[in-house]
Amino acid sequence: MNIYDVSRRAGVSIATVSRVLNGNPNVSQKTRSRVLAVMDELGYTPNVFARGLGLGTMKTIGIMCSDSSDPYLANAIYYLERQLRSHGYDSILCCTGTSLENKRTCFELLLSKRVDAMILAGSKFVELIDRDNDYLIQAARELPVMLVNGYLDAPGIYSTVCNDYEAMYQVTSRLVDSGKKDILYLYTSHSYSGLNKVQGYKNALADRGLPVRRELIHQCAKDLTASRQLIEQLADSGLSFDAVMTSDDSLAVGAVKFACSKKISIPEDLAVVGYNNSILSYCTTPEISSVDTKVEELCTATVTTLMSVFDGSQVPSRTVIAADFIQKETTNFSF
Amino acid sequence: MNIYDVSRRAGVSIATVSRVLNGNPNVSQKTRSRVLAVMDELGYTPNVFARGLGLGTMKTIGIMCSDSSDPYLANAIYYLERQLRSHGYDSILCCTGTSLENKRTCFELLLSKRVDAMILAGSKFVELIDRDNDYLIQAARELPVMLVNGYLDAPGIYSTVCNDYEAMYQVTSRLVDSGKKDILYLYTSHSYSGLNKVQGYKNALADRGLPVRRELIHQCAKDLTASRQLIEQLADSGLSFDAVMTSDDSLAVGAVKFACSKKISIPEDLAVVGYNNSILSYCTTPEISSVDTKVEELCTATVTTLMSVFDGSQVPSRTVIAADFIQKETTNFSF
């Protein structure tokens, strides 16, 4: 007998049951009564800490990320935790992996604790198939759901995003203006962020009168060895390219390693553009020009928005942060 | 009026007050009575969630790390959280920074929540001055304190460490056997782990009849630019060296970048050894030979030990995990 059985029998979400247990005043008296009746009927005993907790908040936020050892997400968790702590909130972390089932399980697990809000760090939490996002949309009726670099249009869901489209549009435009014509584009995922990035690349090409060529656009695992091997295969197959744009620095590192091994001059014969301006982009020789996606600003804005939601202030459902291009040694256009 | 006042007036630790609030049976009846009397006297009202919680556990572990955006610590947090989750425990994270004051504040803050144990990830939590560790030793009388890659000999403190001494001793010996004589040693901190590493280097030199030269041993910020600049300065000042050993991959990346910029051949004219075998060691060309400190094994062993402590089993106060040397392209000795 657990909270899931209660949720199912009462025909309400896990979040609602959790809110009733926590005495959250945002549950209607009618719903509250139904949930309590079902608990009675099923003989459900909430755990000792949930029992009798009639008011207030645990001042705890659930943070989900797919993989905290990813440099971008590691930074995000660091900034989120620090910001939340400075407002007196604890962070309960859950590393979910990428499968939808695990993400849902983690989400429901954290909801069944007494978290005041959920923060989903990284663009991997918004699914391409609409109904796969129902659990988020439903939960957001009960508590704020904050997306860091993801976007879902639903009440109670607040997004802070980086303008990936604009960043990729600008970088692609500058590459073309500097004489590059065959720009290889490597991406890791079809997330909200991933789709915006590739759209920026495509539209910039189209606006400059260049064709968008399918054979230049490839998905690749977020891994420098995979990216190096893919680029090598493409080159061996006769594809020619004079620039590589990537949706993540790790892929750009693979491109630099490919060029080093083939003695191709960077940026003259091959320009390389990374994304996220992580420490990886500083490790290579030459250092990789990369888009700074302002992870600290994104996290600060997310927490600021959340605090405003808690205060009952009006807040925008989407906050957009501008990215910066950090030119280092793998590009040489003017920006 | 807060938990600190109660602790001071009752002459017991914060942890003890917290245990009394949580109804932990490991507090003596005498101490319990004194704490409750002081609370009464001071008119202290614990927060709504602490009040009336007479039994059980929150199944929550406090995790402290100095900086979750450090690649080693980011990995550690990932493995710890996953392992704890698999045993049904939540992780509350606190990124402390490096100042003792912040570390103590975070520690006491987490204790004042209902954590069942504290895990301190990374070697930065054991101070060189004994009395600076008193807060850990005192707290460990009340709840398990787990150190990941740190060591303190006190009841209730359990350490899982990597044999850094042995790893550095072996690598130094092999470098000497392969003909290297002037081995620069760069380190980031005087932590337990840091001291063991440099001792391994020194003893290996001594055992092979080579002098330990102060001018070859330097502290450096954990930053690839700082390390590159330091190495350049040392070379410019006339110091000659044929190998660079480092206590962290980021310093080794600086060494490779230095060599690339000066067209020094690696490993013939300069061998480079990293530490932690992080993704950074794979980003450079040539890739950096590095010591794999088995962070996943360390974290798994830490959680396994903790579960045994919870079960009341006898467990060793120190578990040692063997490191591996991963030879890549910046060394060429046999190992």
Give pLDDT tens digits for B104-124.
Answer: 999 998 988 879 999 999 988
Q: Which residue has the tokens 């755990």?
A: A47
Token digits of residue B81: 């959280």
Cα radius of gyration (chain A): 23
- CA distances (Å), origin A32, targets A13, A16, A21: 12, 8, 9
Chain B residue numbers touching A255 (CB-CB < 8 A): none
Which DSSP letter does residue B243 get?
E
Are the Cβ atoms of A285 and B282 closer than 8 angstroms?
no
Judged against a pLDDT cut of 80, whether residue A172 lies above it is answered with yes
Chain A residue numbers touching B78 (CB-CB < 8 A): 67-69, 95
Q: What is the DSSP string of A238-292?
A: T---SEEEESSHHHHHHHHHHHHHTT--TTTT-EEEEES--THHHHSSSPPEEEE
* 3-class secondary structure, A301: helix
Alpha helix stretches (DSSP H) within A64-163 = 71-86, 100-112, 134-139
**Cα–Cα distance for residue pair A217/B151, rounded to 1 Å:** 51
**Cα–Cα distance for residue pair B68/A174, rounded to 1 Å:** 35
pLDDT score recorded for residue A139: 94
Are the Cβ atoms of B60 and A92 closer than 8 angstroms?
yes
**Cα–Cα distance for residue pair B271/B266, rounded to 1 Å:** 6
| Neighbour tally for A195: CB within 10 Å | 16
Q: At B299, is the pLDDT very low, low, confident or very high (cuts 50, 70, 90)?
A: very high
β-strand partners of B65: B95, B121
Judged against a pLDDT cut of 50, whether residue B92 lies above it is answered with yes
What crossing angle do the helices spanning A224-236 and A249-261 adopt, rounded to 10°? Answer: 50
Per-residue pLDDT reduced to its tens digit, B245-254: 999 999 999 9
**Cα–Cα distance for residue pair A286/B168, rounded to 1 Å:** 30
Higher pLDDT, A48 or A148: A148
* Interface probe with A: pick from B49, B109, B111, most Cβ of A within 10 Å: B49
**Cα–Cα distance for residue pair B167/B293, rounded to 1 Å:** 9
Task: Provide the ipTM.
Answer: 0.81
Q: At B52, is the pLDDT very low, low, confident or very high (cuts 50, 70, 90)?
A: very low
* Model confidence pTM above 0.90: no
Strand-pair category, B243-246 with B318-321 = unpaired
Per-residue pLDDT reduced to its tens digit, B148-204: 999 999 999 999 999 999 999 999 999 999 999 999 999 999 988 999 999 999 999
Closest-CA distance, B315 to chain A, in angstroms, reads 28
Closest-CA distance, B205 to chain A, in angstroms, reads 30
Are the Cβ atoms of A49 and B56 closer than 8 angstroms?
yes
| Neighbour tally for B238: CB within 10 Å | 6
Phi then psi for residue A314, to 5 deg, are -75, 130
The answer to whether the beta carbons of residues A57 and A87 sit under 8 Å apart is no
**Cα–Cα distance for residue pair B283/A282, rounded to 1 Å:** 9
Judged against a pLDDT cut of 80, whether residue A63 lies above it is answered with yes
pLDDT score recorded for residue B215: 98
Closest partner residue to A74 (CB to CB) among B52, B74, B81 is B74
Higher pLDDT, A128 or A167: A167
| Neighbour tally for B262: CB within 10 Å | 12
Sheet of B243-246, strand order:
B217-219, B183-187, B243-246, B271-275, B289-292, B324-326
Q: What is the DSSP string of B159-215?
A: EEEE-HHHHHHHHHHHHHHTT---EEEEES--SHHHHHHHHHHHHHHHHTT----GG
Q: Which residue has the tokens 């979750």?
A: B68
Closest-CA distance, B275 to chain A, in angstroms, reads 15
Judged against a pLDDT cut of 50, whether residue A244 lies above it is answered with yes
Are the Cβ atoms of A81 and B94 closer than 8 angstroms?
yes
